[in-house]
Structure 1
Amino acid sequence: MNYYIIAGEPSGDLHASNLMKAIKEEDTNCNFRFWGGDLMSEVGGDMVRHYKDTAYMGIKEVIVNLGKIKANFKLCKSDLLKYKPDVLILVDYPGFNLRMAEFAHKNGIKVYYYISPKIWAWNTGRVKKIKAYVDKMYTILPFETDFYKAYNVPIEYVGNPVLDAIDNRKNKNESLETFLKRNNLDSRPIVALLAGSRQQELNNVLPIMLLMVKHFPQFQFIIAGAPSFTINDYEPFIKDLDVKVVFNQTYELAQQAHGALVTSGTATLETALLDCPQIVCYKMWGGKTITKLVKRFILKVKYISLVNLIVNKEAVKEIIQDDLNENNVKAELGKLLNDQDYRINIFNHYNDLHKIMGKPGTSSRAAKLMISALKAIPTEN
């Protein structure tokens, strides 16, 4: 069968690539055409656009690149009609993918959504589009499964692909000593900085994270380089600081770190599943007024990190918006790194998370369910 897959950021590239591998095991005659990244390319198939050329964040960036965005929509629509896939598989990336879902549905193309956009947090109105244009939603979190059930959206719960990615990670059994030597690091305990994969996150969050370097000289601060950036993107932030960047080793870094500062997103869940104590840091544009408006009218959930949402309690500290300042982060990081009772409490919550999340195998389950559903569709004579 022919599969058309759209992923628009590094995490989508990772999970889509694992899904593609699982599909290949079930469907030996599969063909892939996709919008994604290097990991998907490694699996095989034809790439239409790399996510580096399609990801635009923030109002200003969107306005400046409006022509390119419209061109991408036009290209994707024409390419879908030309390729005529058996199914369009969408991976998160709602701003682009929900429009493609509508277009594909109206043109008779089957639409599956793998990894739901976070509409349960920000924009519940989008569930109407999903119900109208998506043939089946493959959910990866227990609470979002309940959310879609309430709206009678066709769903299959498949578990979480992060479990697969972590289970299949490189250097899984590597010692701290080997990791330090391999990356030319010194012997001080590590504080990992997972500052996100978008320029907006680097601008708003990373500078505050880096203020901690002077307060905790007994630790070495290491940035997990995002695949969407190069060292040149980090240089303006880390010049004159005793900070290094390691690329393509986020899991290895979190696995070896004594603690971490993490921008909200999938990284919070990955860090927790790797049993690294963390503080969640997030700040978007706007001051106190914007923060109040967001909390009152837009944000629909109690927490912003997946860890806390899944266990339904504050397992890890969240410092967001105006609260994300030097003094608050310093006080919390001091406890995270040095207070043993504080750390034990986090590990206890992580144990609860592991029980809820279950075991790896998500990609395989999703692939089998998708292929089974496609084979059950009667073909036209």
Structure 2
Amino acid sequence: MKYYFIAGERSGDTHAARLLRELKQQDPAADFRYWGGDQMQAEGGELVRHYRELAVMGFWETATSILKFRGYLKECQRDVLAYQPDVLVLVDYGGFNLRMAAWAKEHGIRVFYYISPKIWAWNQSRGEKIKALVDKMFVILPFEEEFYQRFDYRVDYVGNPTADEVADFVPDPNFLTQNGLDPERQIIAVLPGSRKQEIEEMLHEMLAVLPAFQEYQFVVAGVSNLDRAYYQHFERNGIKLVIDQAFNLLSRASAALVTSGTATLETALFDVPQVVCYRTSGLTYAVGKALIKVPYISLVNLIVGREVVPEFIQGKFTARNLLDELKRLLTNKAYVARQRAGYAELRQKMGQPGTARHTAALMVKYLREAQPAAA
């Protein structure tokens, strides 16, 4: 069968690549064409556009970006029609992919969606739109199954790829030596996010607590999509930086300060006690607070359905609050035990690993069921 994938971001490239690998096992005749990245390309098939070229799509404010966005849509639509796939597989990336889903529906092209847009957080009415446009939805957060039931829409919970990545991870025994870290001192991991604006808001406050914890090593998880030189003004007073080694860092950490996002889930799956942090501009926060319809910002708390990890957002995100909370995580064993009990509940709710394998099996099953019976 012929599969046309659209993954417009780095994380989508990672998750789609695993799915391509499993689809080749489930469907030996599979043929792939896609918008994606290097990891998908390593699995074979034809790369049409790299996700790096699509970065402009985030800047909706300028007329030039809107024109480019529309141009990419038209280009993608022409290419899909020329390829004539058995299915269009959309991976997250809601702004672009929901438009492609609407277009595909008009043209009678079957649509599968892997990793739902986070419509449960805001603009929940789009559930009806997705129900109308998407033939099969494969979700990676347990509560999304229940969310879509509100719209009388059956979706498949397939597990979580982040849990798979953590389960498959093998720590590097040379991590400490290669990064100049002291094997005798405990590590506090600092995960400030991957976007420059995010890091500017978060990292100075996170590191302001360092003087109260001189016996520990503070290690910042940097990312390679930002120039290492950008982090240099944070590397002071013994603060260490590691690039693209968050899993190795978490496998060694005693506690973590984490910017809200997938990193909160990764930290929990490594069983590391954490404080979740987030701050943005006053205007953005006011707008977000009015629109967002969920009680928590961390995936850990959202999945478990209660507060497992503390969330210091906006005005509560202060060095004083971080200092007090970090002391509790490092000294209060009963408090840490309660957080880790919540982590165990999280793992139970997420289920067994094998997300890509499970998704691939379901996709092939649904496609074969939809094929006309042989005469």
| Same fold flag (TM > 0.5) | yes
1:139 aligns with 2:139: yes
Partner of 1:373: 366
In the alignment, which residue of structure 2 is the partner of 1:265? 261
Q: Is the 8 A contact 1:57 1:198 kept in 2?
A: no
CA distance in 2, matches of 1:114, 1:273: 22
Say which of 276, 296, 302 aligns to 1:303.
296
Query: Which residue type is aligned with residue 137 of structure 1?
Result: M
Match of 1:344 in 2: 337
| 3-state secondary structure, aligned to 1:376 | helix
Check conservation: 1:10, 1:228, Cα contact below 8 A: no
Establish whether residue 279 from structure 1 lines up as the match of residue 272 from structure 2: no
Whole-angstrom distance in 2 between the partners of 1:96 and 1:291: 24
Superposition pairs of residues 60-79 of structure 1, within 5 angstroms: 65-79=65-79
Match of 1:364 in 2: 357
- Seen in structure 2, the aligned counterparts of structure 1 residues 9 and 170 have a Cα distance that, compared at 3 Å, is farther
Closer, same or farther: CA 3–185 of 1 in aligned 2, 3 Å: same
Is the partner of 1:242 in helix, strand or coil? coil
Which residue does the alignment assign to 2:51?
51
1:112 aligned onto 2:112: yes
**CA–CA separation in structure 2 for the residues paired with 1:57 and 1:313:** 35
1:252 aligns with 2:252: no
Aligned to 2:168: 168
TM-score, length-scaled by structure 2: 0.90
How far apart in 2 are the matches of 1:121 and 1:6? 23
Q: Give the whole-Å Cα distance in 1 for the aligned partners of 2:344 and 2:230.
A: 36
Q: Deviations over 1:72-104 (max 9, x none)?
A: 323322222222222111121111211111122
Q: Which amino acid aligns with 1:83?
A: Y
Q: For residues 265 and 170 of structure 1, do their structure 2 counterparts lie closer, same or farther at Cα, with a shift above 3 Å needed?
A: same
Q: Secondary structure at the match of 1:258?
A: strand
Matches within 5 A, 1:199-278: 199-235=196-232, 237-240=233-236, 242-278=238-274
1:198 equivalent to 2:191? Answer no
Q: 1:241 to 1:39 in 2, by over 3 A?
A: farther
RMSD, matched Cα: 2.5
SS at structure 1 position matched to 2:108: coil
Q: Give, in whole Å, the separation in 2 of the partners of 1:242 and 1:58.
A: 36
Alignment of 1:323 onto 2:312: no
1:113-151 Cα shifts (integer Å, max 9, x gaps): 111111111120221221121111112222110110110
Q: What is the deviation of 1:323?
A: 2.0
The Cα shift of 1:274 comes to: 1.2
Q: Secondary structure at the match of 2:182?
A: coil
Contact residue 262 and residue 268 of structure 1 kept, 8 A: yes
Name which of structure 1's ranges 315-324 and 27-36 shifts more when overlaid on structure 2: 27-36
In 1, are the aligned partners of 2:7 and 2:35 still within 8 Å (CA)? Answer: yes
Query: Structure 2 CA distance, aligned partners of 1:116 and 1:268?
Result: 19
Distance 2:67 2:373 in 1: 39
Instruction: Provide closer, same or farther for how the CA distance between residues 23 and 294 of structure 1 changes in structure 2, counting only shifts above 3 A.
Output: same
> What is the distance in 1 between the residues matched to 2:62 and 2:204?
23
Cα distance in 2 for partners of 1:79, 1:110 equals 15
Q: Secondary structure at the match of 1:300?
A: coil
Task: Give TM-score scaled by structure 1 length.
Answer: 0.89
Q: Which amino acid aligns with 2:119?
A: I
Go from structure 1 to structure 2 and tell me whether the alpha carbon gap of 1:48 and 1:261 turns closer, same or farther (over 3 Å shift): farther
Q: d(CA) in 2 for partners of 1:61 and 1:243?
A: 37
Query: Does structure 2 conserve the Cα–Cα contact (< 8 Å) formed by 1:56 and 1:62?
Result: no
Structure 1 residues 294, 227: closer, same or farther in 2, change over 3 A?
Answer: same
Report percent identity of matched pairs: 46
- Opposite residue 291 of structure 2, the aligned amino acid is I
